[in-house]
Amino acid sequence: MGGEILPIEVSLMQGKGDLILTGKLGEVMRESARIALSYVRSRGESYGLSTDFYQNTDIHIHVPEGSVPKEGPSAGITLVTALISAFTKHTVRRDVAMTGEITLRGNILPIGGLKEKLLAAYRAGLQEAVVPEENRKDIEEIPEVVRKRLQIHFVDHYEQALPKLIPGLDRQMRQQG
């Protein structure tokens, strides 16, 4: 997402648990998708999913504009969000940008190019952005007009981001918990 909004699509279909990745993804981004799926699998029950929710389902992740190569770990948070949305059928907010590398434990790691990414969110008319806490030090590089219009949420862990990204699921989880 080096300065452009990068939509991610997830399609679920009956199968044997295969992960299909398309859209000219580089190896690091492919690894991010596998990490994202492992994180969602490890937390599935907390999202109201059965322990075997993925076993008879093939998961296809596609990043459109297939002729343009995509690389890097910064879409990790977006991949997790897209997967959770697909499995729970809860809608992701469309006015929020998100960026950050995800670990197997859900930690959100810093990314490069924060200025370019937030400028892209601003140009796209988005209202909010979820970014790694460790990138807070880079905020002074962001033009003031962007900082004033975009509400920026800094997070260390995916569970801090979830209420801002999929509020319906967060409400459901709080009612159950």
Q: Which amino acid is at 123?
A: R
Q: CA gyration radius for the chain?
A: 16
Give catalytic status of residue 148 as yes or no.
no
Cβ distance 47 to 169 under 8 Å?
yes
Strand intervals (E) in 15-161:
19-22, 57-62, 96-98, 101-102, 108-109, 128-132, 151-155
Which position among 117, 137, 148, 164 bears the catalytic label?
117
Handedness of CA 163, 168, 171, 175 (dihedral sign): negative
C-alpha–C-alpha distance, residues 98 and 128, integer Å: 9
Joined together, the tokens standing for residue 164 give 């801002």
Which position among 74, 137, 148, 164 bears the catalytic label?
74
Give catalytic status of residue 117 as yes or no.
yes
C-alpha–C-alpha distance, residues 31 and 79, integer Å: 11
What strands lie across the sheet with 9-14, from one edge to the other? 9-14, 57-62, 19-22
Catalytic residues: 74, 117
